[in-house]
Amino acid sequence: MASYQKRGNNSYLLVVEAGYDGKGKRKKKTKTIRIEDEALLKTNKRLKDYIDKELVKFQIEVDAGEYINPEKLKFEDFVEDWHKKHAKVKLAVKTCRNYKEKLDNYILPRFGYTRLEEIKPLHIVDFIYDISQPGAAASKRDKPLSDSTIYEIDKTMRVVFNKAVEWKVIKESPMHGLSRPRIRKKKMKYYEEEDVLQFMEAMYQEDTVWRMFFITSAISGMRRGEVVALQWPDLNFEEGYIKLTRSIPFFENGRPHIKTTKTNEDLRIITMPNWYMEEMKEFQEIWVEEKKLMDDDWEGGDDDYIFHPGNGIPYTPETVTSTWAKLKTRHKLKNIRLHDLRHTMITYLLEDGESLLNVQNRAGHSSSKITTDTYGHVSKKANKSTAERFNKFDPRQFVNNPSTTDILSTSTQRRKVDASRFKEVIKTGQE
């Protein structure tokens, strides 16, 4: 049995009976709805039809066991609902995974059993402070969480609480009005020219597949997932460029998850030096022979992923990163992240005077502002170098040159004449 009763000017209490408890007493579920449409409130029939529909929906929720009183809703229960009805169906797979990782490792252990409406701003402030301390990482490591990780945890909570507000489970997010965690900008690391030479020497002591993978990363400036996703048809040997259209950010159920490149452009062309294309051509010949030898053990299907462990399925991004770490140690290379090879390429081009537009296109930045904001210190150095190109016109270099001396002298005399004429004009005007 279901019924409703008016509670205020625009609010109604829906009541649905949900059987009997252990003592034989009737159980009731209640829900308050508020009607903001003033026109609807003035029409009795339309108003009754609307409330009846809401009552039927409420009855279905109760019968299905899906209704939870917001006042008693625990944070973990809402997160489960949010994940099922929103995150899994509306968000990108990687985004959903990242949110879930932050929830499972940090947020739910702290707030899971707390009622949603009982979480206050001060609780959030205390939580953010606690996770910024050493030992707060899921691994219990001594080092504190990075600024970016704390920022992502904060972001995850805001996304969940904002959805709770949108679904009218709570009136206001406890995050409302709280400042975002600050990400301190770290000094960028990259290889100087002598480091690059050492890097290249080390690469030629490695297997061909890893040599060409990391050289590709360094010269093209492609991101890790973009290099992992490369296939042979992406290389144009005749015109000497790489055609970039996809990325593999992670694996799911043992298979690569394919997505468009980060900036979602349809196509990115990256020109490469002749010697690189020649080496890749030789590598392709070896690759084809290895594929034939695999025969029925080939798992790559019709895909021609360039960098794989032998079975045709590309390396996982995690495998690439761990291999880079081992390679650095083995060859005593300067300790930079794999992503810093990309920084190395961009920095080198900017310092060498390459145009900002060309660097932006090669890096795949969606705007030149990203390039200048990220590599501002390099741009200033390059601009200074550009200005210095005009030093050859410094007139002081020609001070002993008679013709130059005459030009400078004549120029000085002209300025004196112009100045005297200017004074005369001003004087005449005043009179």
What integer is the mean pLDDT of 348-374?
69
pLDDT of 200 reads 93
pLDDT of 138 reads 80
What integer is the mean pLDDT of 242-254?
89
**CA-wise closest residue to 191 among 203, 209, 176:** 203
Position 271, amino acid: T
pLDDT at position 114 over 80: yes
What crossing angle do the helices spanning 93-102 and 147-166 adopt, rounded to 10°?
100
List pLDDT tens digits, range 135-155. Answer: 888 878 788 898 999 999 999
pLDDT of 337 reads 92
Distance CA 238, CA 41 (A): 73
Predicted confidence band of residue 431 (pLDDT cuts 50, 70, 90):
very low
Do the Cβ atoms of 256 and 314 come closer than 8 Å?
Answer: yes
pLDDT at position 7 over 60: yes
List pLDDT tens digits, range 70-108. Answer: 667 899 999 999 999 999 999 988 899 999 999 999 999
pLDDT at position 65 over 90: no
Do the Cβ atoms of 70 and 169 come closer than 8 Å?
Answer: yes
**CA-wise closest residue to 99 among 79, 115, 120, 118:** 79
Predicted confidence band of residue 180 (pLDDT cuts 50, 70, 90):
very high
Share of the chain above pLDDT 90, in %: 43
What integer is the mean pLDDT of 193-216?
93
Do the Cβ atoms of 252 and 327 come closer than 8 Å?
Answer: no
pLDDT of 406 reads 57
What integer is the mean pLDDT of 18-39?
78
pLDDT of 170 reads 87
pLDDT at position 131 over 50: yes
Highest mean pLDDT: which range of 204-208, 217-221, 376-380: 204-208
Residues in Cβ contact with 320 at an 8 Å cutoff, skipping those fewer than 6 apart: 213, 224, 227, 228, 338
Beta bridge partners of 14: 4, 31
pLDDT of 129 reads 94
pLDDT at position 226 over 90: yes
Q: In what order do the strands lie in the sheet with 26-34?
A: 2-6, 11-20, 26-34
pLDDT at position 127 over 60: yes
Distance CA 411, CA 88 (A): 75
- Sort strands 2-6 and 255-260 into parallel, antiparallel or unpaired: unpaired
pLDDT at position 28 over 90: no
pLDDT at position 408 over 50: no
Distance CA 102, CA 78 (A): 16
List pLDDT tens digits, range 264-276. Answer: 555 788 889 999 9
Distance CA 54, CA 126 (A): 40
Predicted confidence band of residue 43 (pLDDT cuts 50, 70, 90):
confident
pTM of the full predicted structure? 0.63
Predicted confidence band of residue 54 (pLDDT cuts 50, 70, 90):
confident
Candidate from 347-351, 356-360, 412-416 with smallest mean pLDDT: 412-416
| 3-state secondary structure string across the chain | CEEEEECCCCEEEEEEEEEECCCCCEEEEEEEEECCCHHHHCCHHHHHHHHHHHHHHHHHHHHCCCCCCHHHCEHHHHHHHHHHHHHHHHCCHHHHHHHHHHHHHHHHHHHCCCEHHHCCHHHHHHHHHHHCCCCCCCCCCCCCCCHHHHHHHHHHHHHHHHHHHHCCCCCCCCCCCCCCCCCCCCCCCCCCHHHHHHHHHHHCCCCHHHHHHHHHHHHHCCCHHHHHCCEHHHEECCCCEEEECEEEEEEECCEEEEEECCCCCCCEEEECCHHHHHHHHHHHHHHHHHHHHHHHHCCCCCCCECCCCCCCCCCCHHHHHHHHHHHHHHHCCCCCCCCHHHHHHHHHHHHCCCCHHHHHHHHCCCCHHHHHHHCHHHHHHHHHHHHHHHHHHCHHHHCCCHHHHHHHHHHHHHHHHHHHHHHHHHHHHHC
Mean of the per-residue pLDDT values for the chain? 83
Q: Is 242 exposed, middle or buried (0-12, 13-18, 19+ CB in 10 A)?
A: buried
Position 409, amino acid: S
Candidate from 17-31, 97-111, 113-127, 336-350 with smallest mean pLDDT: 17-31
Do the Cβ atoms of 195 and 334 come closer than 8 Å?
Answer: yes
pLDDT at position 370 over 80: no
pLDDT at position 427 over 60: no
pLDDT at position 133 over 60: yes
